[in-house]
Amino acid sequence: MDLQQSWQGTATGTQSRLDFVRNVYLWLMGGFAVAALGAVSAPFVARALVPVAGRFLGWVLFGVQFGTLMFASSVSRRRPLNKVAYGLFTYVSGVIAGIIALLVARGAGFTPVFVAFGLTGVVFMTLTTTAFVSKKDFSFLRNFVIVGIAVMFFGSLAAAIFHLETFSLVISGVAVIACSAKLLWDTSTMLRTDDFGDPAGFALALFVSLYNIFIALMNLLGGRRR
């Protein structure tokens, strides 16, 4: 009887984990879909905001994006508010990515944009497969990720404020490495956690890493020719 109960408990736990992982990726795919809508509407949003924000449009969008990210993080367990917050953040992120893609395309064509998108997909599939197949705990990357993201964040601000184009490319390289490490860490944590109540939070973390990788790759591939 004890053996049967143990087997049933293991089977139930495995099914719960599979359902959780599936929900995380459903949230992630939904975020990509909303971001795609944002990217398509980017020219119209920019045209509407330029008369109001002027040359501060980039900073305004960054502030809105950061605010919606904090909002989405704080309500990730609260239904249905988490859907609204997650949708707002992914839509704003899509608008920003669309505007950056248009700026890159203006100077270097759309090839860097498509290549960056493809490479982001390759990074996602490679690191996800690594986490699933190896089943290792990648939490040892924590300190590296924290330092890398801090350098990425403050370095990006410095590059934007002081118009340091070469330094911006260096920071983009740091962003690709740091966010790839975070993607691997978050995926392994998702596979090992016993808390199945926050699929939106895990999807948000994965989305942010992939978004930053995509933006950084666009900057690396098209920045020198803009």
In tens, the pLDDT along 60-76 reads: 999 999 999 999 999 99
Read off the pTM: 0.92
Predicted local distance difference test score (pLDDT) of residue 54: 83
Question: Encoding tokens for residue 60?
Answer: 């305004």
Predicted local distance difference test score (pLDDT) of residue 8: 46
Please choose, from the candidates 179, 167, 96, the residue with its C-alpha nearest in 3D space to the C-alpha of residue 187: 179
Predicted local distance difference test score (pLDDT) of residue 190: 95
Residues 6+ apart with CB under 8 A from 179: 148, 149, 152, 208, 209, 210, 212, 213, 216
Please choose, from the candidates 1, 7, 11, 24, the residue with its C-alpha nearest in 3D space to the C-alpha of residue 193: 24
Please choose, from the candidates 193, 188, 190, 185, the residue with its C-alpha nearest in 3D space to the C-alpha of residue 209: 185
Predicted local distance difference test score (pLDDT) of residue 33: 98
Predicted local distance difference test score (pLDDT) of residue 88: 98
Predicted local distance difference test score (pLDDT) of residue 9: 45
Helices (H) then strands (E): counts for the chain: 7, 0
pLDDT 10s digit of each residue in the chain, 226 long?
A: 454 544 444 455 678 889 999 999 999 999 999 999 999 999 999 999 888 888 899 999 999 999 999 999 999 999 999 999 999 999 999 999 999 999 999 988 999 999 999 999 999 999 999 999 998 999 999 999 999 999 999 999 999 899 888 999 999 999 999 999 999 999 999 999 989 999 999 999 999 999 999 999 999 998 655 4
Predicted local distance difference test score (pLDDT) of residue 13: 60
